[in-house]
């Protein structure tokens, strides 16, 4: 570092609290460096030459001693809560430590989203709800964000942001416990209990009288056809047996109460508040505490870490769903059985505990990191106007109170003007509208993606959850890291980044169209007669006296003709041995054998192609996210960044996240072939028309993506003069201007 010449002049900064900071100037009055003296202590070492004063590497190499601060100012830059502010913890008041903690909590937060997505099918089966109803329940998250997004973003953005984020994490933890509570209140359900060795004898077997059911419970060693039929994993034809004397027990209050749906809705409503606080404040806090040229790279790191969360969430969901819904019981069916219910509730307990234990870490961070505070003060010192008065005659450099580290309380009366500024900002408005349509497509698409893979590619609930998450998310993380590093290094213009997003939007539309042609042929349905109502009359002459249960589907395939039957019972079959079903009255060949499941031969290669195309588009799509975020942050007043994100969440919640799951849920319901029953009424869907679902699902997603690309074109047009990396450039420009001014005065 350059040494000061003995003839260099120095000018003091007048400050409160008995301390002062000394700024050095050269012979021409050009600022060079500074040192601080506080309450008579020995001088601190020179911090840096002013042209490099915003370089954190230079600052980190120095021992800058800040001027004396009052208690409020000290609390703003000190790690800890209340009296707990030990000296050893102050070294963690850095951007690296914040990134680690923020990423850790983001991982846990984002695990909740993917875990819920992965277990939604199980929730539908457990509580017998349709996809449309599930979509309505999921809107609780968006409703809370619609109500609170602007007000919380406004106050939180102007308050102690780390502590507001900690409160959000605790609120999210509470939502996890609420979401797990239906299991503790209502148990695994009668359907699940009836499929366990411990409770099978308690529940009435369809087609078997109560007396016969009791005999089965206490005479399990008999080899009679009656016992073999009752103990079989598939539903067989039971000719000659009495018809059931009562309905199934699925009409008991424990299985039909609306309370579980209310609890799920409440959990989603509470979760929306927690997520809102965490994400609207975390990004701006990081952006305000780092150099703007470093923002893209660090955003890439934090966003990729946030993608680790969904990966873990899908993997964790896969593990939980492999466990039976009541892990202490012994199921009589396997994972592949359509009636399998996994331990969906277990993950919520674990996630809630994790968030409670880690929430206090984010609360320990100061309102503003020390280096950022120093950089801000030195920047304000060099600014002209009200923030700096350079009086060369008096040899004093006076910093007004505005340059001090003050944090005035936000006033609600100022909020309407701030919101109006966001609405009238064309770049911000069009950028948000593009996001609305992209997210409308994405949120519905990925919420139901596990179910889509189960239906279209015949994957199990576990495989669908893991595959849909891990494959796409891994590629997204790579795209974020690479794009963040490239943007930081080459600093492309806002227009170039916006143009890239336009290209990606239209490419995504093409890919969605191609997905309409990718799927597995489950075979020709041989259910019976399809009624005008769209439902099936499953009773035919060949299964008339089989006493088949029709409220649950267990498809079987006759591969010779590629026919799929509703169940072995509906195919008139009476024998099952190791998964091979025979003696079927509905098939002309008396020696014919059927296999469990649909007729999805030769489908794996199509599934691999789908995964490959999906991974590639996810890689490209993620490369545009950081540029989009930079545009969002730079097109608004710096102090309104959190409010701008809150405004975005408000629009996206109202126009995208609220209606999207409902619309895509209706698409699934419209493609349903076989509905389950719940007390004689329609329950959840057991079997879908794959071709119809494939077309409508992807075409709707493509349409909304196209609208998003159109608004991205408008963003591209209006960002032509937007500078994404202006902080250091503008400060250095002001320094050069000061130097030229001094030289001109000297020459006169």
CA dihedral sign of residues 175, 178, 179, 180: positive
CB 101 within 8 A of CB 634: no
The alpha-carbon radius of gyration of the chain (Å, integer) is 32
Residues 421 and 507 in one domain: yes
DSSP state of 406: -
Residues 263 and 177 in one domain: yes
Report the range out of 3-12, 125-134, 698-707 with the highest average pLDDT: 698-707
pLDDT at 49 over 60: no
pLDDT at 3 over 90: no
pLDDT at 214 over 80: no
Query: What integer pLDDT is reported at residue 207 of this predicted model?
Result: 38
pLDDT in tens, 259-286: 888 999 999 999 989 988 888 888 888 8
Cα–Cα distance, 318 to 328 (Å, whole number):
18
Residues 651 and 544 in one domain: no
Question: Which of 16 and 649 is assigned the larger pLDDT?
Answer: 649
Which band of pLDDT confidence, cut at 50, 70 and 90, is reported for residue 717?
Answer: very high
CA dist list (Å): 193 to 204, 327, 452: 12, 11, 27
Residues 657 and 671 in one domain: yes
Judge whether 748 lies within some domain.
no
Which band of pLDDT confidence, cut at 50, 70 and 90, is reported for residue 47?
Answer: very low
pLDDT at 637 over 60: yes
Query: What integer pLDDT is reported at residue 564 of this predicted model?
Result: 82
pLDDT in tens, 315-331: 898 889 888 888 888 88
Query: What integer pLDDT is reported at residue 203 of this predicted model?
Result: 52
CB 663 within 8 A of CB 669: no
Question: Which of 46 and 684 is assigned the larger pLDDT?
Answer: 684
Judge whether 268 lies within some domain.
yes
Query: What integer pLDDT is reported at residue 244 of this predicted model?
Result: 46
The CATH number of the domain holding residue 454 is: 1.20.1250.20
pLDDT in tens, 166-192: 999 999 999 999 999 989 888 888 877
Report the range out of 116-125, 395-404, 463-472, 597-606 with the highest average pLDDT: 116-125
Query: What integer pLDDT is reported at residue 385 of this predicted model?
Result: 44
Residues 287 and 155 in one domain: yes
Token pair, residue 319, equals: 């593990």
Residues of the chain with pLDDT > 70: what percent?
A: 69
CB 726 within 8 A of CB 716: no
Query: What integer pLDDT is reported at residue 713 of this predicted model?
Result: 96
Residues 450 and 585 in one domain: no
Cα–Cα distance, 675 to 688 (Å, whole number):
9
Exposure letters 152-189 (e unless 16+ CB within 10 A, then b): bbbbbbbbbbbbbbbbbbebbbbbbbbbbbbbeebebb
Judge whether 294 lies within some domain.
yes
Residues 124 and 16 in one domain: no
Average pLDDT for 26-54: 40
Judge whether 248 lies within some domain.
no
pLDDT at 437 over 60: yes
Query: What integer pLDDT is reported at residue 745 of this predicted model?
Result: 65
Judge whether 207 lies within some domain.
no
Residues 667 and 697 in one domain: yes
Residues 290 and 275 in one domain: yes
Judge whether 609 lies within some domain.
yes
- Structural domain containing residue 562: 223-242+523-599
Average pLDDT for 722-734: 61
Query: How many structural domains comprise the chain?
Result: 3
Query: What integer pLDDT is reported at residue 241 of this predicted model?
Result: 57
CB 144 within 8 A of CB 269: yes
CA dihedral sign of residues 665, 666, 667, 671: positive
Query: What integer pLDDT is reported at residue 157 of this predicted model?
Result: 79
- The answer to which of 548-552, 581-585, 610-614, 722-726 has the lowest mean pLDDT is 548-552
Residues 348 and 430 in one domain: yes
Cα–Cα distance, 704 to 439 (Å, whole number):
9
Q: What residues have CB less than 8 Å from 557, skipping those under 6 apart?
A: 523, 563, 564, 565, 594, 595, 596, 597, 598, 599
CB 338 within 8 A of CB 554: yes
Judge whether 741 lies within some domain.
no
Query: What integer pLDDT is reported at residue 408 of this predicted model?
Result: 57
Cα–Cα distance, 110 to 106 (Å, whole number):
6
Residues 638 and 713 in one domain: yes
Report the mean per-residue pLDDT for the chain: 74
pLDDT at 149 over 70: yes
Average pLDDT for 72-84: 71
pLDDT in tens, 356-379: 988 888 888 888 887 766 766 666
**φ and ψ at residue 74, rounded to 5 degrees:** -65, -40
- What is the distance of C-alpha 11 from the center of its chain? 52
Report the range out of 34-38, 91-95, 230-234, 683-687 with the highest average pLDDT: 91-95
Token pair, residue 575, equals: 């024998």
Residues 484 and 625 in one domain: yes
Judge whether 202 lies within some domain.
no
- What is the distance of C-alpha 248 from the center of its chain? 39
Place of tokens 């029709």: 550
pLDDT at 714 over 80: yes
């Amino acid at each position: 570092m350059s040494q000061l010449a003995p003839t260099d002049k120095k000018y003091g900064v007048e400050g409160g609290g008995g301390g002062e900071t000394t700024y050095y100037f050269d012979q021409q009055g050009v600022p060079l460096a500074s040192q601080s003296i506080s309450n008579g202590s020995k001088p601190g070492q020179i911090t840096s030459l002013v042209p490099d004063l915003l370089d954190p590497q230079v600052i980190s190499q120095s021992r800058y001693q800040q001027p004396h601060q009052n208690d409020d100012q000290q609390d703003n830059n000190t790690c800890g809560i209340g009296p707990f502010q030990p000296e050893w913890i102050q070294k963690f008041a850095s951007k690296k430590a914040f990134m680690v903690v923020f990423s850790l909590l983001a991982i846990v937060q984002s695990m909740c989203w993917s875990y819920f997505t992965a277990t939604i099918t199980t929730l539908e089966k457990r509580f017998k709800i349709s996809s449309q109803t599930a979509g309505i329940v999921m809107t609780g998250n968006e409703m809370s964000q619609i109500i609170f997004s602007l007000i919380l973003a406004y106050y939180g953005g102007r308050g102690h942001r780390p502590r507001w984020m900690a409160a959000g994490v605790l609120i999210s933890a509470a939502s996890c416990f609420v979401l797990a509570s239906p299991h503790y209140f209502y148990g695994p359900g009668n359907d699940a209990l009836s499929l366990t060795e411990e409770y099978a004898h308690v529940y009435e077997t369809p087609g078997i009288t109560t007396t016969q059911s009791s005999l089965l419970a206490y005479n399990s060693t008999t080899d009679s056809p009656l016992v073999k039929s009752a103990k079989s994993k598939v539903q067989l034809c039971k000719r000659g047996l009495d018809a059931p004397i009562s309905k199934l027990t699925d009409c008991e209050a424990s299985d039909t109460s609306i309370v579980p749906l209310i609890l799920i809705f409440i959990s989603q409503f509470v979760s929306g508040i927690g997520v809102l606080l965490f994400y609207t404040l975390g990004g701006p806090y990081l952006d305000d505490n780092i150099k703007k040229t470093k923002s893209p790279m660090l955003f890439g790191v934090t966003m990729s870490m946030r993608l680790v969360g969904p990966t873990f969430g899908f993997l964790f969901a896969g593990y939980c769903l492999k466990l039976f819904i009541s892990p202490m019981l012994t199921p009589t069916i396997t994972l592949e059985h359509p009636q399998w219910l996994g331990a969906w509730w277990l993950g919520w307990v674990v996630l809630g505990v994790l968030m409670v234990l880690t929430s206090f870490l984010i609360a320990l961070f100061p309102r503003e990191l020390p280096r950022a505070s120093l950089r801000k003060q030195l920047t304000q010192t060099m600014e002209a106007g009200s923030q700096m008065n350079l009086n060369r005659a008096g040899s004093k450099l006076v910093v007004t109170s505005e340059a001090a580290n003050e944090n005035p309380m936000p006033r609600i009366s100022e909020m309407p003007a701030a919101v109006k500024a966001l609405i009238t900002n064309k770049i911000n408005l069009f950028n948000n509208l593009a996001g609305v349509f992209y997210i409308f497509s994405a949120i519905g698409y990925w919420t139901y993606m596990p179910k889509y893979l189960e239906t279209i590619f015949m994957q199990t609930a576990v495989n669908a959850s893991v595959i849909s998450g891990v494959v796409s998310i891994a590629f997204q993380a790579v795209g974020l890291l690479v794009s963040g590093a490239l943007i930081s290094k080459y600093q492309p213009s806002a227009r170039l980044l916006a143009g890239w997003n336009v290209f990606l939007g239209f490419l995504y539309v093409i890919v969605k169209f191609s997905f309409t042609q990718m799927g597995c042929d489950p075979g020709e349905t041989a259910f019976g007669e399809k009624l005008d109502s769209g439902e099936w009359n499953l009773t035919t002459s060949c299964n008339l006296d089989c006493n088949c249960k029709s409220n649950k589907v267990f498809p079987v395939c006759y591969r010779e003709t590629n026919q799929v039957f509703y169940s072995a019972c509906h195919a008139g079959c009476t024998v099952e041995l190791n998964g091979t079903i025979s003696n079927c009255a509905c098939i002309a060949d008396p020696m014919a054998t059927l296999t469990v499941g649909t007729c999805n031969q030769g489908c794996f290669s199509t599934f691999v192609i789908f995964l490959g195309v999906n991974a590639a588009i996810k890689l490209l799509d993620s490369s545009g996210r950081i540029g989009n975020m930079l545009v969002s942050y730079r097109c608004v007043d710096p102090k309104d960044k959190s409010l701008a994100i809150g405004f975005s969440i408000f629009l996206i919640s109202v126009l995208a996240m609220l209606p999207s799951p409902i619309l895509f849920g209706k698409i699934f319901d419209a493609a349903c072939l076989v509905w389950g029953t719940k007390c004689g009424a329609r329950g959840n869907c057991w079997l879908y028309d794959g071709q119809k679902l494939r077309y409508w699902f992807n075409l709707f997603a493509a349409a909304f993506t196209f609208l998003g690309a159109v608004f991205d074109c408008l963003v591209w047009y209006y960002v032509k003069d937007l500078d994404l990396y202006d902080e250091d450039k503008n400060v250095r420009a002001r320094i050069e201007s000061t130097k030229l001014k001094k030289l001109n005065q000297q020459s006169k």
